[in-house]
Amino acid sequence: MTDVDKLFAAPLPQVSDFVFDHNVARVFPDMIKRSIPGYPTIVENIGVIAAQYAQPDTLIYDLGCSLGAATQSMRRHLRSEGCRIIAVDNAEAMVQRCREYLSAQDSMTEELVPASVVQGDILEVELQPCSVVILNFTLQFIAPQHRLAVLSRIRDALLPGGVLILSEKFRFAESNVQHHLEQVHYAFKRANGYSDLEIAQKRSAIENVMLLDTQQAHLERLQAAGFSQAYTWFQCLNFGSIMAHA
């Protein structure tokens, strides 16, 4: 059971920077579904795409896994012999719960692809040769000056034929497009039961820790990291997901 996200419902004297602590982990599934338009579709199709590109006897990484939604989806879809998923997150609260969720999934379904959860920083974790890497709304929390290095390391670890799925909240270079999509995103959040106060306080909490790029900047950076081709396979308002081929 997950709790309803009320973290920003009451007026806060001072809004601190957002952290992935136990309070967030407790409400995370509710928070992310009510905040990211298209999230359930992206997560389900990460499983479908991973099943298409996973190679037998290879590793798959879910970097910034939170509670393991993408890992669980891949385990629902993957049939490749000998694959193993490594889910990584640096937040202890997320890692703890993610392990619980994955063992619950193990107890309900037989013969799932094995998955282990590692507490570690994406900037430091050593990546072994792999066929699929997931960065589902994680790169936006990495300091911009480190993003190219992260993508280059992923590119170097991917086997020929391997794929990276990169989902992000996008910024738009044209100010009126930015304005329209941002306003509709707030309407999406209001339609999901968030008040104007919750929306405003969450926005202040996140604005220093989640720094956004345009789709163009993502595609150019992927090219600079050595990916042969990258394109957007899904977009809903100002959120989307890119596939990048090794």
219 binds ligand GEK (CB under 6 A): no
| 141, 172, 186, 234: which one binds ligand GEK (CB under 6 A) | 141
Instruction: Work out whether 96 is an interface residue with ligand GEK (CB under 6 A).
Output: no
Provide the minimum distance between the beta carbon of 64 and ligand GEK in the complex, in angstroms, as a whole number.
Answer: 3
Q: How far is the CB of 141 from ligand GEK (least distance, A)?
A: 4
Per CB under 6 A, 61 contacts ligand GEK: no
Q: Give φ, ψ of 67 to 5 degrees.
A: -95, 10
Say how far apart CA 93 and CA 152 lie, in whole Å. Answer: 28
Contact 29, 51 (CB under 8 A): no
47-55, 88-96, 178-186, 220-228 -> range binding ligand GEK (CB under 6 A): 88-96
58 binding ligand GEK? (CB under 6 A): no
Site string for ligand GEK, 5-34 (x = CB under 6 A): ---------------x-----------x--
Neighbouring residues of 174: CB distance < 8 A, sequence distance ≥ 6: none
Angle among Cα 41, 42, 44 to the nearest 5 degrees reads 65
- 207 near ligand GEK (CB under 6 A): no
Residue 64 touches ligand GEK, criterion: CB under 6 A: yes
Separation between Cα atoms, residue 239 and residue 119, nearest integer Å = 27
Question: Taking CB under 6 A as the criterion, which residues in 142-201 touch ligand GEK?
Answer: 142
Q: Which of 9, 123, 149, 187 binds ligand GEK (CB under 6 A)?
A: 123
Q: Any bridge partners for residue 223, and if so which?
A: none
Per CB under 6 A, 137 contacts ligand GEK? yes
Q: Is 136 in the site for ligand GEK (CB under 6 A)?
A: yes
Q: Are 210 and 201 in contact (CB under 8 A)?
A: no
Q: Which residue sits closest to ligand GEK, CB atoms considered? A: 64
Residues 6+ apart with CB under 8 A from 37: 185, 188, 236, 237, 239
Kindly state whether residue 223 participates in binding ligand GEK, applying the rule CB under 6 A: no
What does the block give as tokens for 238?
């100002």
Q: Which stretch of DSSP H or E encloses residue 166? A: strand 158-169
Q: Report yes or no: 143 and 185 within 8 Å, Cβ to Cβ.
A: no
Residues in contact with ligand GEK by the rule CB under 6 A: 20, 32, 43, 64-66, 69-70, 88-91, 94, 121-123, 136-138, 141-142
